[in-house]
Amino acid sequence: MTQQDSRTAVVTGAARGIGAATARRLARDGFAVAVLDLDADACAPVVEEIVSAGGRALAVGADVSDERSVTEAVARVTGELGAPAVLVNNAGIIRDNLLFKMSTDDWDAVMGVHLRGAFLMSRAVQKFMTEARWGRIVNLSSTSALGNRGQANYAAAKAGLQGFTKTLALELGKFGVTVNAIAPGFIETEMTAATAERLGVPFEDFKKAAAGQIPVQRTGRPEDVAHTVSFFVSEGAGFVSGQVIYVAGGPRA
Closer Cβ to ligand NAP, 130 or 243, answer by number? 243
* Residue list 100-139, contact with ligand NAP (CB under 6 A): 113, 117
Q: Among 6, 151, 162, 189, which residue sits at the site for ligand NAP (rule: CB under 6 A)?
A: 189
* Candidate segments 34-42, 44-52, 119-127, 227-235, binder of ligand NAP by CB under 6 A: 34-42
Instruction: Write the CB contacts of 137 (distance below 8 Å, at least 6 apart in sequence).
Output: 86, 87, 88, 89, 122, 125, 129, 165, 168, 172, 177, 178, 179, 180
Q: Per-residue x/- marks for ligand NAP, 35-74, CB under 6 A?
A: --xxx-----------------------xxx---------
Q: Which amino acid is at 19?
A: G
Q: Which of 62, 67, 58 is nearest to 13 (CA)?
A: 62
Q: Which amino acid is at 105?
A: D
Cα 74 to the center of its chain, rounded Å? 16
Q: Per-residue x/- marks for ligand NAP, 203-242, CB under 6 A?
A: ----------------------------------------
Q: Among 60, 187, 233, 253, which residue sits at the site for ligand NAP (rule: CB under 6 A)?
A: 187
Q: Which amino acid is at 71?
A: T
Q: Does 165 bind ligand NAP (CB under 6 A)?
A: no
Instruction: Write the CB contacts of 174 (distance below 8 Å, at least 6 apart in sequence).
Output: none
Helices vs strands, H then E, count in the chain: 9, 7
Annotated catalytic, 154?
yes
Catalytic residue numbers read 154
**Interface with ligand NAP by CB under 6 A: which residues?**
12-13, 15-19, 37-39, 63-65, 90-93, 113, 117, 140, 142, 184, 186-187, 189-192
